[in-house]
Chains A and B, each alone.
Chain A
Amino acid sequence: MRIQVRFFAALRERVGISERVISVPENTTVAQVWSLVVEDKFLPDNVLAARNMEYVDVATPVAEGDEIAFFPPVTGGGL
Chain B
Amino acid sequence: MTVEILDRAFDPWHYLAEYRIKGTQQAGQFGATAVFVGTLRDFNQDESVQSMSLEHYPGMTETYLEKISREAVRRWGLTDSLIVHRVGELLPGEPIVLVAVWSAHRQAAFEASRYLMEELKSKAPFWKKEQLEKGKRWVEHNTPG
Contacts and interface: CB of A to CB of B under 8 A. Distances in A.
Interface of A: 6, 8-10, 50, 53-55, 69, 71-79
At the interface, is chain A mostly helix, strand, loop or mixed?
loop
B75 interface: no
Given A9-B129, A9-B138, A10-B138, A76 B124 contact: yes
Contact of A79 (B41, B123, B141): B41
Interface of B: 36-41, 54-57, 59-60, 63-64, 85, 95-97, 117, 120-129, 138-143
Given A50-B57, A50-B60, A72-B138, A79 B143 contact: yes
A75 B141 contact: yes
Contacts of A50: 57, 60, 125
B120 A8 contact: no
Contact of A77 (B64, B129, B142): B142
Contact of B127 (A53, A54, A71, A79): A71
Given A72-B138, A76-B85, A78-B95, A8 B143 contact: no
A53 B60 contact: yes
Closest 4 CB pairs of A and B: A78-B38, A76-B126, A9-B127, A53-B60
Nearest to B139: A75
B127 A75 contact: yes
